[in-house]
Amino acid sequence: MNLNSYSLTKIAEDDKDTTYDLFFGPNHPGMHGNFGYVLDMSGTEIISVRPNAGQLHRGFEKLMEQRGWVQNITLVPRICVMDPDPNEVAYCMAIERIMGVEIPERAKYLRTITLEMSRLTSYLLAIGGVGGALGHYTPTYWSTADRDLLMDMFEWLTGGRVYHIYNIPGGVRSDVPEGFFKKLLEVMDVLESRLPDYDSILFENPIVHKRLKGLGYISKEDARITGLSGPNLRASGNAYDVRKDTPYAAYADLDFDIITQEGGDSLTRALQIRMEYEQTINLVRQAVKKIPEGDIRLNLGLLGSMKVPPGEAYEKVESSKGEFGYYIVSDGGLKPYRVSVRGPSLPAGFLWAQKHLPTMKIDDVAVWMGTLGICPPDFDK
Amino acid sequence: MNKITAETLLQDLALRCLNGEKISDQQIKVFASKDNFINHLNYLQSIGFEHLANINGVDYIDENEFEVDYHVYSYTHKIHIIFKVRIPREKPVILTVVGLWEQAQFYEQEVHEFYGIYFEGNKDLSPLFLENWNDLPPLRKDFNTEEFSEILFGSRKNGGEE
């Protein structure tokens, strides 16, 4: 976007009102990532909105065309900071589909466990984000501390706290260290024991209910047709979950239901995050209980000089924000011919921003973004 | 509505003169021509393929063609379609699908920005991500990133020293 065409001064004035242009982000504390909205304001009312993307753009899709198949795995998790593992898994799954290989059972379970752990870290950030946007910082402090327990587990397993780079084509990088699952189950117990606290301070808080109820309503049909996915879609009453509909990794073996609600507003979406958080704890426990012994990856030869046969595939993974899809085209060489990333936040971040924000006050923008789980790096990549 | 499988869907589309291939039980790819692909997408939407997940471009420079891929999915039939349309590289023009899916507006803006493909009927193809860009559209295969960065940042020896 051309910044020169915007001025920060008043853009219209008549006898009664003056309209101002306001940059909400990239430095606003309620903004997620280096993204922003340019709002036309009259008082505290928003009149119109222009998404101001581009400040995060690093040209990932072009970069991936210039690096080897395995080198790219260090790149893909950066597309979603909060929930990096779905990127690695979707990217690897697309390569495995083109190569026509099936990964070992144990690797599938290890992918499932890390995906669900990653989902927990992301939901904890989302809970903190909803609290922080409401000016209610206690849940933010709590969730940051709880998230650290999971980061420690990731560090122990993969060596990295935020970006794990754990998945490689053909399986995962390493098996779990001694005593990892025992500690992981302890962490799950701690996280579950904290839920009543979050409920009483945030999810059952009458002030939060009053503030979020009716904000940013999305109907069932609108959610289906505009490309929303994940918790946002399910909070509008659509029972769609990639883990159930096109099962990948070990999700076909796990026992879980798709959680749906009918509300479709910000309150419902916040409660959806709370319910799916609890379900995720349960999924980690199930996967740890069922994990079989065996190999953790296929031998695909020397990974540095790996070649993928010509072909194409689209693979998707249910992340905490919705459907993450990777469309990969291979020409048989050492590098991908084309990688296209479907980020889950684009419909909410662009389309629904233009539909919703002009009916809101400026105080609601950060809360609205928090409950929709908008993660700008996944479209501005 | 009867349950559609990948095989029956391919047969159905073959009757409408659309060639396709099965990738897996839940994924097919379809090749359409740029003249009437909107009718086919409209038909697919009417039989339950209501989720447009993504629109992306691919530059097949050796064949002198661009490809625009529409990724559509059906919540009812649980089938993903990669809907492929090829257009010539010299005249990269294709009709817009904003009338079918509102979010296509932003995907089309993105494809226009990175490939220079024009979407006829789309009223706003202003750039979303790049600022003051007047070079070749950067995701085209003939865009040379090394040359671009040398012009912009100057050349550097190995190791990053001046």
Amino acid letter for position B50: E
Other Cβ atoms less than 10 A from the Cβ of A175: the count is 17
User: B27 to chain A nearest CA, in Å?
Assistant: 8
Alpha-carbon gap, residue A227 to B51, rounded angstroms: 6
CA A66 distance to own-chain centroid? 26
pLDDT of residue B146: 83
Alpha-carbon gap, residue A123 to A170, rounded angstroms: 28
Q: Where are the domains of chain A?
A: 60-378
Q: Which of A59, A323, A329 is closest, CB to CB, to B53?
A: A323
Other Cβ atoms less than 10 A from the Cβ of A345: the count is 27
- The more confidently predicted of residues A180 and B17 is A180
Please state the rounded mean pLDDT for residues B82-111.
Answer: 91
CATH topology of domain B6-153: Beta Polymerase; domain 2 (3.30.460)
B27-32 and B80-88 beta bridge pairing: parallel
Contact B69 A246 (CB under 8 A): no
DSSP state of A251: G
**Nearest to A79, CA basis, from A368, A266, A321, A255:** A321
A-chain residues near B53 (CB < 8 A): 227, 229, 316, 323, 325, 342
Residue partners of A268: CB distance under 8 A and separation at least 6: A235, A236, A261, A262
- For residues B68 and B94, is the Cβ–Cβ distance under 8 A? yes
pTM (predicted TM-score)? 0.90
Please state the rounded mean pLDDT for residues B108-118.
Answer: 91
User: A380 to chain B nearest CA, in Å?
Assistant: 7
B-chain residues near A325 (CB < 8 A): 53-54, 71
Alpha-carbon gap, residue A103 to A17, rounded angstroms: 64
A-chain residues near B101 (CB < 8 A): 225-227
The predicted-structure confidence for B44-73, as pLDDT tens digits, reads as follows 898 888 899 999 999 998 889 999 999 999
- For residues A336 and A330, is the Cβ–Cβ distance under 8 A? yes
User: B159 to chain A nearest CA, in Å?
Assistant: 19
DSSP state of A304: G
Tokens of A214: 């009716």
pLDDT of residue A13: 67
Chain A residues bordering chain B (beta-carbon distance below 8 Å): 1-3, 51, 53-54, 57, 59, 61-62, 66, 97, 224-227, 229, 238, 240, 245-246, 312-314, 316, 323, 325, 327, 329, 337-338, 340, 342, 346-347, 350-351, 379-380
Residue partners of A360: CB distance under 8 A and separation at least 6: A46, A215, A216, A368
- For residues A344 and A229, is the Cβ–Cβ distance under 8 A? yes
Residue partners of A187: CB distance under 8 A and separation at least 6: A149, A150, A153
CA angle A86-A83-A253, nearest 5°? 45
Q: Which B residues 71-110 touch A at CB under 8 Å?
A: 71, 75, 78, 80, 82, 101-103, 105-107
Alpha-carbon gap, residue A147 to A329, rounded angstroms: 36
- For residues B74 and A318, is the Cβ–Cβ distance under 8 A? no
Q: Which of A2, A316, A325 is closest, CB to CB, to B131?
A: A2
In chain A, the residue whose alpha carbon lies closest to the alpha carbon of B24 is A97
pLDDT of residue A154: 92
Per-position pLDDT tens, chain A of length 381? 455 554 455 666 677 777 777 888 788 877 877 888 888 887 788 888 888 888 888 889 888 998 889 989 999 998 888 889 999 999 999 999 998 898 999 999 999 999 999 999 999 998 988 888 888 889 999 999 999 999 999 999 998 888 998 999 888 988 899 999 999 999 999 999 999 999 999 999 999 999 888 888 899 888 888 988 889 999 998 888 889 888 888 898 888 899 998 888 899 999 999 999 999 999 999 999 999 988 888 888 888 888 889 988 999 999 998 899 999 999 988 899 999 999 898 888 899 988 888 888 888 888 888 888 888 888 888
Does B65 contact A at CB distance below 8 Å?
no
The span from the first CA to the last CA of chain B, in angstroms, equals 68
What's the longest Cα–Cα distance across chain A? Answer: 77
pLDDT of residue A341: 92
pLDDT confidence tier of residue B85, bands split at 50, 70 and 90: very high
pLDDT of residue A22: 83
CATH number of this structure's domain A60-378: 1.10.645.10
Whose tokens are 């879609």? That residue is A233
Element (H, E) at A328: strand A323-330
Tokens of A158: 């993969």
Whose tokens are 């101001």? That residue is A52
Contact A342 B54 (CB under 8 A): yes
Please state the rounded mean pLDDT for residues B109-117.
Answer: 91
The predicted-structure confidence for A207-237, as pLDDT tens digits, reads as follows 999 988 888 889 988 888 898 888 999 999 8
Amino acid letter for position A40: D
Does B134 contact A at CB distance below 8 Å?
no
pLDDT of residue A113: 93
